[in-house]
Amino acid sequence: MDSIKLKYECDSTERKIYPLDFLPSLEDYPGYYDFSVDINQSQQGKSSCFFSKVLKQVFIDMNKMLLINFQLSGDVTGLFIRALPVYASPDFSGIPVTRCTVHSVESDPKGKAHSSGFCNCSKYENVGHVIRSQSSDAQYYYDDLSRRHSVLVPLRKLQVGSHSFPIGYYFTCKTSCPGGMQRRPINIIFTLETACGDVIGRRVLGVRICSCPKRDMERLEKDYPKGKKRNYEQPSKKIKYSPSCSYSTDESDTCFTKLSEEMNDLSKILLEFNEKVISLSQIVNLL
């Protein structure tokens, strides 16, 4: 890998993996490349992604794409963008954001991804990663010290006349999942990094993953003037938004359908678990 020949130099030809900080910084830092994010979510028909200008927060359904245009100035060759989920509250900032059992059991039914003390998520469809990228070049990392999962995407040469690099992300768990995020608000820290692993830019984006993005956004925006929004939910002030998001008028029916489907899926999982417990009990009785 080529070294960075601008302001930042790297003597190594291989990317170093530095341990993540136990308490990652939530301070915006545009840096040398004037690093910033531009949210531009445009979909045909019903939209499952909304950005609140009031809350400076994204509301998105699980497994739906969040398209972010990262804007930089200068040559981006050899640079990387890491996406790291963290809890917004200082009370939980030292705790890694993890997936719930209900959603992770689909890819890792026996819970073997971390059973050996090491991360083997790559063998189980990256089961431990809450945020993932649709980029074919995405690299998934696990930090042994902080126990945090993150996804890294290398930047390629920008297209002629373009000053932004689009990356699609999606989330594999919901903010309300018991045993996972448990309704604790999260931020996504996007860091611009060199081939040596040095952070040279940072942006923070608040995200809420839910079944009814529009409904939740409107409810929280309504409560915002009343002072119900917590002080620790302070997203980046440099987030740009291109208002091309389409709003659906029948979201209530859609939400009800989604919730019904989720309840059915949960019932099936619990039924299968109960059958396994019964089978195990029968085996024990035979011994």
Q: Binding site residues for Zn(2+), as ranges?
A: 100, 103, 173, 177
Q: Among all chains, which residue has been given the structure tokens 């690099």?
A: 165
Residue numbers in the known binding site are: 100, 103, 173, 177
141-to-66, 96, 170, 260, 273 alpha-carbon distances in Å: 20, 13, 16, 34, 30
| 142 neighbors 62 (Cβ within 8 angstroms) | no
Two structure tokens written together for 51: 């950005």
CA 243 to CA 40: how far, in whole Å? 7
Rg of the chain over CA atoms, in angstroms?
20
* 162-174 as b/e: b if 16+ CB within 10 A: eebbebebbbbbb
Beta bridge partners of 140: 151
Q: Among all chains, which residue has been given the structure tokens 């989720």?
A: 262
